[in-house]
Structure 1
Amino acid sequence: MAGYNLNRFHLLVLVTWQFSIFFAVQQIFPIFLNYVPKWRCEENSTSDFKWSDMKKISYNLKENLGLLNINNKKMYFNNSEKLFYTPTDFQLYSEEYEKNCQVFNSCPENFLIFKSGEFFSAALDFKWICDNDSSYIVSIISMIQFFGVLCGTVFYGFLADHFGRKPTSFFILSFGIFFLVASAFLEDWRYLLVFRFVIGLCNGGTMVVLFAYMNELLLSEQRMALRAFVNWGNARVATTIICYLFPSWRMASIACGIFALPAIFILIIFLPESPTWLYNKKKFTEYRDALKYISSLSGDGPEPEIDNIDKNTEVNIKKVWTNKDLRQRLLVLGFMWFTASISSYTNDLNSSSINDNFFLNQILIASFIAFSKVLLGIVDLYHPNFNRRNLHHHSQTAVCICFGIVAGMLLLKYNGTFLMVFNLIGTICIEWTWDACFLCAIESMPTPIRGSAVGMCSLIARLGALMSPIIAYLSSIYAPSAYIVLSCVGFLNLISSYKWLPDTKGVDLNEVMEALEMVEGKEKDDLIVVSQPKVSPLH
């Protein structure tokens, strides 16, 4: 990554962001919380995955964590299960593993065999399987965390714009990690719902506030490195490995929380408040101090000379709606985020598993995402003319083409290898559209409202995600329908962004509003004016 002009300070910023994503990836932890393998009823089995044995493992873990006492033991095991077959029970026997609730509810626990015991999830722990409330609980635990993410993106965005990036980031990470670790000690699933909501709240803040904070600490040419080399795919691989090494949702929650702690330590000890935020809040003494500190920590020579500081333009959230260019940018960005969200979530809900092995499946998905991000970083590094508009337009075009082909294959009832290949290519390209969404949002909005604006974009994205189950359901009525909808929405997004999305690659985050004012009222192309920063303290 030599081409990115990285020094010690930049590396600290990148490492902080990667550990922050390790926490933010809790957004997909319900995959592990709700995991239930297939089962069958088998007499005199020697399997290691009997339901009765797995319940004992769960009990022992709770006892080690101090959650149970001896009086709970009878209550925990003496449920109304049968211990022996009756003649009518032999119809329950099957050689196939499947999720058959009649078998689960009727088969004795010492004869009920799971296909695997790779991970002891909350669904197994609290027995969210085949009862009247199980489907509701499994759905609500994902929805409640998702609703937390939706609220957190807006709430913490406003806090960060008002109180500063560093204190808000510290609160988000420390509060979220505390609740993540504490959730492992809960005995009642109702409290778990509350804790996962709080975790989701902090996940939303991480993706908005910390991403803006880290971008403001980097040079303009390093922003792609923040998306390419430290990324969601890496964090998802790490989370999967942690869950493999600690195959219980309780121990995995503790391990994931501990694994994310370095982000807090680096933030407290090494990172200053964002100079960009200080500059726009007219805290010029603190601004100079932050620049000098960054220069000394980077170890790249003498302190920078700081020019006279001009007055910065006053901007508040109302300015978004009164300024034509800002309003236009926010609407275009909002539709971009909506399209990326509805495409990714619908595709996830509508895609088949790559492999029957639970952990291998998760590793493969995460690895493809991580590889695609690195590939994007290499392209950006060696092709300077590959700007933000190109990134979004090429990626969105590929998504439309791939999903259009997938829809055609489903229409022809083709289910071969090429279906998976085009679906996978579309999935990778959706990840690239997300990169364009984040980078364009950060670079298009003035510093005083950057957190709030990105939060609003993220809120719009969550609305798209809420619609994705409905679109995925359409495929059960007419198989190609989901991909037809995604292709059409993507095509509309492509037209919108082609006409109105500005290219912001290399923009000085301090002077976004000034650049807008320079071109306001004039005829202009889709490109914005990119000004040079008054000082480049991070070299």
Structure 2
Amino acid sequence: MADSQEKLKKDKDAVKLDDFIVLGRYSLLICLLSEFMILNQVGNMLYMAYSGAAPKLTGCGDTVFPENITAKAACVEFTRLENDTGCKPTLEPQFKSVNYEWEYICSGTTVVKQSISVQMIGVIIGALLFGQLSDMFGRKWTLFSTLLFSQVFMIISSFTPNLLWFTVCRFFVNIFNGGSITINMVNVNENLPKKDRLWINNIVTWAPNMIILAGVAYLTQNWRVLTVVSAIIATPGLIFNILISESPRYLIQKGKIQEAKQVIERMCKIDGRPFDKELLDHVLDKETKAALESKSKSKNYTFFHLFYTLDFALYTIAIGFSFLVVSIMNYSILFNMEKLSGSIYVNAVLIAAFRYALNLIMAPCEMKFAWLGRKVIHTGSLTLIAFAAFSMLVLTLLGLQVQLPIIISVASVGIVAVCSQLFIVNAVVSNELFPTAVRNLAYASSQFCARIGVVLAPLIFLLAGFWEPLPYIAMVAIVTTDLLFFHSVIPETKGKPMADRMPGPENRLFKGKNSKPDVELKDLEASKKLTEDVEESH
């Protein structure tokens, strides 16, 4: 470490803030905080996969339905018996969900799926609201507040007497959950060394926490208990949040140089490593000048700049639509796991394990094989998903879904696992295609489309009420459209330099009389930071 410090002294201008952020005990605090934040995020995003699971209708009163009866046929028979005799339904739940407790069965499940969609609107609001608040007030305490208040509303929701109040409480839970997802990603990005972010985010990620959630759901067996336990086990996140400091990058951006210096000194002390105060002062002075220069030379860009040229417009639409499709495919299955054969707990573990393994395999393969570009992964993943959805469609059309439920389950598990690759590729392509000036805008736009997909996802299987194969027809249609459109308009970006210049006015899609010269972005620090964000996407 002493040799490293001596080397840094020799060339002060080469030293950057990143050189003071190294892997150590402070990084471990950040990772532990991130783990408990993600545990809470997964517990809330996938909560309704268990708490909104429809129980199996096995009879009415003394009448027991045949074991192999379809859900639709069981509902028809139940309605007839209820009208004739006034009998009460006999239900067999895998998990004591709100459907089971308040008897939302058959057509009543539609109301629960609509409730999920309303709850997920909160995620969109939270992402937008807390993204702004974290830029105004910092990462540390806004992140703390999102976890604390999500826990408060989680516990309140466990006492709700009906679906209406339950939906209201879960809506507020997801406002804070959406904020947590947004801020935690930024906080991790700003506090971990660049070279270590990728492998850390492949370990501290959603998939392992999906397995933990499945275990907690299996042990609790009740939606009220599950939400309370989920809130309690995330509590260490509050402690780790108190132990960390505000992001030094945020403090520099806000001109709080002395506070940034104190934070970096504290990081070094926690790690037990020496640091050169004079060198740190030099770096902070340089970072401050860069921030001031950036503000003086920056140009305000809006959402409309994503449609500045025809290429930009096509990129924006293609990537946004792809995020929408992937979210619909991913969450429509997760929110309807009770329709799959076998245990919802085992299916959740299989999905998470397959997803985690795929992520760990694809990361080194993408680096090793030059031909394995973004479009190859995107096209290959969508082809597999289309094939799986088409297989389910054929089985449903032939009426074999009851006789061959294992195929439906395997196809569904495969779809959700492969979707993780599409989330990553779409995020990377978005960051690599757009110039620095609008890169954050482009990614924010695509994430908004992804959140819309989460809202629509619970409604996909409601199409079966009109015709049983209709959900799978919709899946095949949107996946095929995404595959063809994305492949036709998106160029390969692997190995290509990231753009720092906006196109000139001669390339504008809508040319005005007072077209200004093209703008070259000179905020090198912003460029560097946004380039690093590529590694953090999903």
TM-score normalised by structure 2 residue count: 0.72
1:89-145 CA distance string (max 9 Å, x none): x6x654546543466565799996444x442112112222357xx234312320111
Report what 1:20 is aligned to: 37
Q: Is the 8 A contact 2:434 2:442 kept in 1?
A: yes
Which range moves more in the overlay, 493-502 or 13-22? 493-502
Q: How does 1:352-371 map to 2 (within 5 A)?
A: 355-371=341-357
Are 1:120 and 2:120 matched, yes or no?
no
Whole-Å Cα distance in 2 between the matches of residues 484 and 518 of structure 1? Answer: 34
Give the 5 Å matches for 1:388-537: 392-406=374-388, 425-438=414-427, 455-466=444-455, 473=463, 476-477=469-470, 480=473, 482-498=475-491
**Which residue matches 2:255?**
282
Q: Per the alignment, do residues 279 and 446 of structure 1 end up closer, same or farther by CA in structure 2, a change over 3 Å counting? A: farther
Change in 2 beyond 3 A, CA 1:319/1:435: same
| Alignment correspondent of 1:53 | none
CA displacement 1:369-410 (0-9 Å, x = unmatched)? 222233345557xx4888xx9664333121232234446656
Q: Tell me what 2:26 maps to.
A: 9
Is the contact between residue 342 and residue 465 of structure 1 (CA under 8 Å) also seen in structure 2?
Answer: no
5+ residue gaps, structure 1, are 43-81, 506-511, 534-539
**2:51 aligned residue (27, 33, 42):** 33
Contact map agreement 1:8 1:297 (CA 8 A) in 2: yes
Q: CA deviation at 1:272?
A: 1.5
Which residue number in structure 2 is paired with residue 144 of structure 1? 118
Shift of 1:479: 5.3
CA distance in 2, matches of 1:268, 1:448: 34
For the structure 1 residues 504 and 436, does the alpha-carbon distance in structure 2 shift closer, same or farther, using more than 3 Å as the test?
farther
Mapped to 1, the partners of 2:503 and 2:475 lie a distance apart of: 44
Q: Is the 8 A contact 2:154 2:169 kept in 1?
A: yes
Question: Cα RMSD between the aligned structures?
Answer: 4.5
Deviations 1:501-535 (A, max 9, x none): 99689xxxxxx9xx6599996999xxx997699xx
Match of 1:311 among 251, 268, 290: 290
Matched, 1:345 2:324: no
> Which range moved further: 145-154 or 407-416?
407-416
Q: Distance in 2 between matches of 1:502 and 1:167?
A: 38
Which of residues 195, 217, 225 in structure 1 aligns to 2:191?
217
**Which amino acid in 2 is paired with 1:488?**
T
Taking structure 1 as reference, are residues 185 and 348 closer, same or farther at Cα in structure 2, changes over 3 Å only?
closer
Alpha-carbon separation, structure 2, partners of 1:273 and 1:447: 25
- Report the 3-state secondary structure (helix = DSSP H, G, I; strand = E; otherwise coil) of the residue aligned with 1:302: coil
CA contact (8 A) 2:351 2:413 kept: no
TM-aligned CA deviation for residue 147 of structure 1: 0.7
Aligned length: 465
- Which aligned pairs between 1:99-118 and structure 2 lie closer than 5 A? 99=71, 100-101=74-75, 104=78, 106=81, 113-115=90-92, 117-118=93-94
Question: Partner residue of 2:157?
Answer: 183
Partner AA of 1:397 in structure 2: T
Per the TM alignment, residue 244 of structure 1 is displaced from its structure 2 partner at its CA by 0.8
Give 1:442 shift: 7.8
Helix, strand or coil for the counterpart of 1:185? coil
Q: Which moved more, 1:481-490 or 1:105-114?
A: 105-114
User: CA, structure 1 residues 478+448, in 2 after alignment: closer, same or farther (shift >3 Å)?
Assistant: closer
The offset of 1:239, in angstroms, is: 0.8
Whether the 8 Å CA contact 2:381–2:421 is kept in 1: the answer is: no
Over 3 Å counting, the alpha-carbon distance change for 1:522 and 1:442 in structure 2 is closer
Q: Tell me the alpha carbon deviations over residues 183-241 of structure 1, each in whole angstroms, 9 at most, x when there is no partner.
A: 11222332211110011111211221111111111122223234311111111111110
Partner secondary structure for residue 498 of structure 1: coil
Percent identity reads 19
> Counterpart amino acid of 1:433?
L
What is the CA distance between 1:245 and its match in structure 2? 0.9
Paired amino acid for 1:461? A
Secondary structure (helix, strand or coil) at the match of 1:319 reads coil
Distance 1:478 1:33 in 2: 22
Give 3-state SS (helix, strand or coil) of 2:103's partner.
Answer: coil
* Inter-CA distance 290–441: structure 2 relative to 1 (3 Å threshold): farther
> How many Å separate the matches in 2 of 1:211 and 1:98?
43
State the one-letter code of the partner of 1:168: T
Q: Determine helix, strand or coil for the equivalent of 1:311.
A: helix
In structure 2, stretches of 5+ residues that fail to align are 1-20, 505-516, 531-538
Shift of residue 419 of structure 1?
8.1
Deviation at 1:499, TM superposition (A): 6.0
In structure 2, C-alpha distance between the alignment counterparts of 1:174 and 1:325, rounded to whole Å: 39
- C-alpha separation in 2, matches of 1:15 and 1:391: 33
- Amino acid corresponding to residue 498 of structure 1 in structure 2: P
**Counterpart secondary structure, 1:11:** helix
